[in-house]
């Protein structure tokens, strides 16, 4: 199985559009991929929180090192 190239000519236009036609995904892929996407999104949220904490702690360290603590 692979991708298929197809040319579509829109009505009222003489400009053809090239598009890919994908074969249908197997049922197992349809079951697994949404769960993987949810996990990726959850991990992105965790990464954002950790980056915010890191930024905050970095500011604290700069203040302490400059004698402001």
Number of domains in the chain: 1
**54-58 mean pLDDT:** 94
CA 37 to chain centre: 8
Q: What pLDDT score was predicted for residue 21?
A: 67
Residue 57 lies in a domain: yes
pLDDT over 80 at 12, yes or no: no
Residue 7 lies in a domain: no
Residue 31 lies in a domain: yes
Of the chain, the percentage scoring pLDDT greater than 70 comes to 67
CA dihedral 12→18→24→29, nearest 10 degrees, is: -130
Integer angstrom CA distances of residue 25 from 15, 20, 21, 59: 30, 14, 12, 48
pLDDT over 90 at 2, yes or no: no
Q: State the average pLDDT for the chain.
A: 81
Q: For residue 38, give its domain range.
A: 25-69
Residue 11 lies in a domain: no
């Amino acid at each position: 199985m692979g991708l298929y190239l197809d040319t579509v000519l829109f009505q009222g236009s003489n400009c053809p559009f090239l598009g890919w036609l994908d074969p249908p995904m197997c049922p197992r892929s349809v079951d697994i991929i949404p769960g993987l996407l949810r996990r990726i999104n959850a991990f992105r949220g965790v990464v954002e929180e950790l980056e915010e904490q890191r930024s905050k702690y970095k500011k604290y360290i700069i203040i302490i090192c400059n004698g402001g603590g």
